[in-house]
């Protein structure tokens, strides 16, 4: 703690020193000769104050840390460039320092600041370029091209400038940058060009290798529809447009329904029923999944109470839970409250998590999962066999079930290697005393093979498609 405070204080001092040097630089004054007759904290430069005032105007144009143009000045510069003679092209590139926050916290703010200074220097070394810092971790470079074909080569040059290692106080590191660019023509609107480069940068950030990406109209349309969908999703939650379908899970030996998986649906007012693959990724990106997921949990538990009241053998309801919900430490607390308020039994609930979540074996994650297990809530690994977790994780995490992914189950009766893999998974479950559910079962022949392999539970269109609450209840009664 004390260490952190010292670091923060050092970085504060560092920036203060830089700011003061920039003022001295603007005043063209040797800081050692400056006197301070006035109140503590005020720097008095005697008769030179008037000069400082006028030159501070220049420093108003500059980003004080890096010396490149600040945001406003860069915008003005871009406007000027676009006023050129018709026929010229203006290349605008936005570069984002990836994980600057991590660099600051790992190596200290001094290192982060030094990195930004060097990025500014390297970009300024590009001949004919105007460079600006648009935000904490974002730079922009613009230059005039007479031949639009030169854009790609220029972008590669910028990328090469940034690829070399950065020598920072206490560390020499490789830094990754996302790069987005747009090519404008003389006479174009500067705000429009900035927006286009911003869209391309956004796409670059999403690309696995942070490749430099050129603006393209389709990306703009995709982003627009993502933004619209995010706002629609927020309304959907407020307007009660979500509902849950239930797909039965059966015991293979008896064919009896022993549980159900809750699958979210969105009744969009204009586009009709939307499957989760259309909107869950957007809900995850925007963080809305935490609220939506909490709604799902409460709704399913309430339905479980309705179905299980007076039932000799209660059904177990499985709910898909996103990584973000697990990462929020309040999941056990939320569930505890829901279970208490609804008087539901925790054993009626199974949380489905992805294999990739198990790759995070941090004490916090293990703690959350153990907390849930000790409450009596089941934990199931969804789409088992498709993720990156190692089998060893099944030992570390208190898992109670795994669901063999549909890709292995589909045509298990016709494909030798699938037969071997599914058989091995079932034996693994037996040995570790973890329940195994085969997902996506569609045919009688698949059922026969699964039974012969000793699989206990299954789910799929063969037994029933996901259906609304009322139909699911009718299925139980029938």
Decide whether 113 or 382 has the Cβ nearer to ligand C2E: 382
Burial degree of 212 (CB within 10 A; 0-12, 13-18, 19+): buried
Stretch that binds Ca ion, among 83-91, 96-104, 118-126, 320-328 (CB under 5 A): 320-328
Of positions 66, 96, 142, 320, contacts Ca ion by CB under 5 A: 320
Measured in residues, the chain has a length of 478
Of positions 255, 275, 287, 367, contacts ligand C2E by CB under 6 A: 275
d(CA 193, CA 89): 12
280 interface partner picked from Ca ion, ligand C2E, none, CB below 5 to 8 A per type: ligand C2E
* Tokens 């290349």, located at residue: 91
378 lines the binding site for ligand C2E (CB under 6 A): no
Q: Cβ(413)–Cβ(433) under 8 Å?
A: no
The number of beta carbons lying within 10 Å of the beta carbon of residue 162 is: 19
d(CA 350, CA 329): 18
Rounded to a whole number of angstroms, the minimum distance from the CB of residue 421 to ligand C2E is: 18
Decide whether 89 or 397 has the Cβ nearer to Ca ion: 397
241 lines the binding site for ligand C2E (CB under 6 A): no
d(CA 409, CA 403): 10
Give how far the C-alpha of residue 78 lies from the chain's centroid of Cα atoms, to the nearest Å: 32
352 lines the binding site for Ca ion (CB under 5 A): yes
The number of beta carbons lying within 10 Å of the beta carbon of residue 475 is: 15
247 lines the binding site for ligand C2E (CB under 6 A): yes
- Residues facing 131 on adjacent strands: 141
383 lines the binding site for Ca ion (CB under 5 A): yes
Stretch that binds Ca ion, among 37-45, 177-185, 423-431, 437-445 (CB under 5 A): 437-445
Decide whether 110 or 355 has the Cβ nearer to ligand C2E: 355
C-alpha dist (Å) from residue 252 to 7, 206, 315, 376: 61, 43, 15, 25
63 lines the binding site for ligand C2E (CB under 6 A): no
d(CA 414, CA 405): 16
- x/- map, 388-417, ligand C2E, by CB under 6 A: ------------------x-----------
Residues lying near ligand C2E in the complex (CB under 6 A): 247, 263-264, 275-277, 280, 293, 296, 320, 322, 382-383, 406, 440-442, 460-461, 466
Where do contacts with Ca ion occur on this chain (CB under 5 A)?
A: 320, 352, 382-383, 439
């Amino acid at each position: 703690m004390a260490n952190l405070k010292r670091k923060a204080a050092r970085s504060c001092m560092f920036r203060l020193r830089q700011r003061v040097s920039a003022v001295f630089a603007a005043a063209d004054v040797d800081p050692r000769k400056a006197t301070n007759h006035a109140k503590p904290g005020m720097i008095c430069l005697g008769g030179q104050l008037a000069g400082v005032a006028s030159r501070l105007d220049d420093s108003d144009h500059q980003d004080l840390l890096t010396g490149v143009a600040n945001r406003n000045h860069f915008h003005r510069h871009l406007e000027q460039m676009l006023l050129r003679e018709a026929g010229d092209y203006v290349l605008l590139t936005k570069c984002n320092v990836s994980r600057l926050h991590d660099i600051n916290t790992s190596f200290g703010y001094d290192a982060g600041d030094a990195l930004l200074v060097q990025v500014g220097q390297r970009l300024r070394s590009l001949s004919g370029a105007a460079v600006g810092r648009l935000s904490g971790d974002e730079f922009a470079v613009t230059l005039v091209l007479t031949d639009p074909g030169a854009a790609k080569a220029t972008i590669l040059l910028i990328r090469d400038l940034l690829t070399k290692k950065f020598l920072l106080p206490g560390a020499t590191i490789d830094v990754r940058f996302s790069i987005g660019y747009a090519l404008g023509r003389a006479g174009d609107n500067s705000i429009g060009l900035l927006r286009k480069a911003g869209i391309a940068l956004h796409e670059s950030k999403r690309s696995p290798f942070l490749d430099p990406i050129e603006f393209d109209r389709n990306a703009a349309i995709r982003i627009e529809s993502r933004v619209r969908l995010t706002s629609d999703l927020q309304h959907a939650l407020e307007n009660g447009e979500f509902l849950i379908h239930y797909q039965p899970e059966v015991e293979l030996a008896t064919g009896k329904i022993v549980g159900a998986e809750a699958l979210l649906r969105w009744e969009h007012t204009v586009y009709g029923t939307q499957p989760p693959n259309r909107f869950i990724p957007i809900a995850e990106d925007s963080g809305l999944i935490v609220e939506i997921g909490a709604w799902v949990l409460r709704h399913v538990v309430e339905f479980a109470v309705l179905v299980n009241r007076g039932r000799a053998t209660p059904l177990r309801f499985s709910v898909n839970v996103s990584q973000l919900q697990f990462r929020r430490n309040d999941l056990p607390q939320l569930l505890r409250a829901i279970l208490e308020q609804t008087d539901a039994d925790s054993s009626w609930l199974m949380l489905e998590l992805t294999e990739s979540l198990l790759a995070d074996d941090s004490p916090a994650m293990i703690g959350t999962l153990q907390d849930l297990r000790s409450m009596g809530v089941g934990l199931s690994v969804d789409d088992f066999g498709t993720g990156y977790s190692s089998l060893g994780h099944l030992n570390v995490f208190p898992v109670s079930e795994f669901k063999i992914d549909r890709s292995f189950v589909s045509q298990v009766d016709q494909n030798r290697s699938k037969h071997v893999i599914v058989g091995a998974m079932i034996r693994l479950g037996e040995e570790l005393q973890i329940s195994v559910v085969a997902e996506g079962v569609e045919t009688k022949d698949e059922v026969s093979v699964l039974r012969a392999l000793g699989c206990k539970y299954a789910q799929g269109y063969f037994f029933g498609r996901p259906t609304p609450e009322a139909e699911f209840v009718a299925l139980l009664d029938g």
